[in-house]
Amino acid sequence: MSETMTTDAARSAILEGRTSLGIEFGSTRIKACLVGHDPTDVLAVGSHEWENEFVDRRWTYSLESVWSGLQAAYADLVADLRRRHDVVPETFGAIGVSAMMHGYLPFDAEGELLVPFRTWRNTSTGPASAELGERFGVNIPLRWSIAHLHQAVLDEEPHVPAIASVTTLAGYVHWKLTGRNVLGVGDASGMFPIDSATGSYDARLVGAYDELVASRAPGLKVAELLPEVLPAGRVAGELTEAGAALLDPTGALRAGIPFCPPEGDAGTGMVATNAVAPRTGNVSAGTSIFAMVVLEHPLANAHDELDLVTTPAGDPVAMVHCNNGASELAAWAGVFGRFVAAAGVELSGDEVFGALFREALEGEADAGGLLAYNQLAGEPIAGLEEGRPMVVRTPDSRLTLANLMRAHIYGVYGTLALGMRVLHDEGVELDRMFAHGGIFRTAGVAQRFLAGALDAPVAVGETASEGGAWGIAVLAAYLGAADEVDLGTYLSDRVFAGAAIDVAEPDPADVAGFAAYLDRYAAGLAAEAAAVAAL
């Protein structure tokens, strides 16, 4: 990613609003990324750490933390602009908002939230998911917004008759900043199935749902509750005076800035890795981990392991989504970080990760018989309603630091690989997978192991650690080019043409070793299920 713009040129671009701001609400961090007219010129970044809460057996974030976190991330961005360029922004060329997909944010006619935000991480929607899947003939995952809504209907929750709108986290923030209740098609595809031919909600399934709930929730019309759907490149509103005050309480930021459609983290990950064309895909690894594979043709069958969603341009995508990603790996790194600190050695978090990851390269290809289960939350693909992180070994397993760390990195990919096996069986072919997320910051380790897990080349670019905040900034910048080129051409010719990309080819020993690990991992899920039942 280029940062070659001179300070004078950067200051002029910032003052004149020839910039694009991307904001993304990740699971553990809210990030802001400002780019120049050339989206590869990153002018400043800002961030704020936050955590979900487990309240009344549901994963949630408070709306207060949404706004305090957004303001903190934006203030951090402004501070970075002061440090780098000695300027405070008053406007931008465009803004985009992205966030974790799915979940449930129902509002009444006055715009009041009816129940606390239910995030994608909740797995209490099994009956709804099963009934909808049977009625629709397509997989409706537990975390989808329609599954949450239908579960509330099935449970006869008292707030259901008062629902006037339902949206995602990105849609909510965008609505409050612009006054428009809209969603990008990628994010919308995680609320309710999309018809790629029309670029909006599947009309047949909308009708089927209204018939399904006609007696249980009289008057409920799902199309009236869902946000308007827009493709990438369409202007989705402008920053209002109230929105400017929410984003920047100092009053420096002016209203009137255009917004691109709000998108989900899956879509921005695809943009950030230039993975919007058929036979390409990407893996995003954070608190959750998921793979997006752009399809050449429809799948032959419906599969519980796969979501059918879309790119930000509306093209069909098969998604393998796992609720649990790198959090357990990070917890173990924290344990070892504390050990070295207790021993009187000062290492940064990145240095601890780097040392542990490099040690994993010395491990046996199958991790020496060790297994690491990363399930902190429920995992539908693995058949787990709740999570119980575990490290398991047999008496003849080789417990070494190298094998332990390789097992933990393999464990991040375990459930994902089970889902990818289904795509392989469907005959879906991949030319290349792109990867992004903090786990890939240590060069040559997590990327290499992922190539072995998928038995496919894995590319990591300069944008890997910036991730979705940069991806939504690119979508905001695309507003100025959408009349000239399609999104795929814009990314290939104007954003990634000169990008440095490192490609890891699958190592045959890693492929065989991970396959052996995955076979044991699948068999050992019975022990994980027993732990959920017993503990």
Task: Summarize pLDDT for 429-463 with one digit per residue, the tens.
Answer: 888 899 888 899 888 999 999 999 999 999 987 65
Beta bridge partners of 195: 200
Instruction: Indicate the length of the chain as a whole number.
Output: 535
Write the DSSP assignment of 200-219 as a string of letters: EE-HHHHHHHHHHTTTTSTT
Helices (H), 51-161: 63-85, 126-136, 145-154
Do the strands 263-264 and 53-55 form a parallel or antiparallel pair, or are they unpaired? Answer: unpaired
Q: Which two tokens stand for residue 55?
A: 């309240």
> What confidence tens digit (pLDDT) does each residue in 40-69 have?
999 999 999 999 999 998 999 999 999 999
User: Which DSSP letter does residue 493 get?
Assistant: I
pLDDT at 2 over 60: no
Q: What is the pLDDT of residue 302?
A: 84
Which percentage of the chain shows pLDDT scores above 70?
Answer: 98
Q: What is the pLDDT of residue 436?
A: 81
Predicted confidence band of residue 464 (pLDDT cuts 50, 70, 90): very low
Measured from the Cβ of residue 535, the count of other Cβ atoms closer than 10 Å reads 8
The CATH code for residues 264-324+419-504 is 3.30.420.40
Mean pLDDT of 266-275: 89
Going from N- to C-terminal start, the domains of the chain cover 264-324+419-504
Tell me which of 444 and 7 has the higher pLDDT: 444
Predicted confidence band of residue 5 (pLDDT cuts 50, 70, 90): low
Q: What is the pLDDT of residue 466?
A: 61
Residue 195 falls in which region: left (phi positive, over 0), alpha (psi -120 to 50) or beta = beta
Mean pLDDT of 212-219: 95
pLDDT at 332 over 90: yes
Beta bridge partners of 436: 284
Question: In a 10 Å sphere around its CB, with 0-12 CB exposed, 13-18 middle and 19+ buried, how is residue 388 labelled?
Answer: middle
The CA-atom distances, in angstroms, between 183 and each of 173, 375, 459, 487 are 11, 30, 29, 17
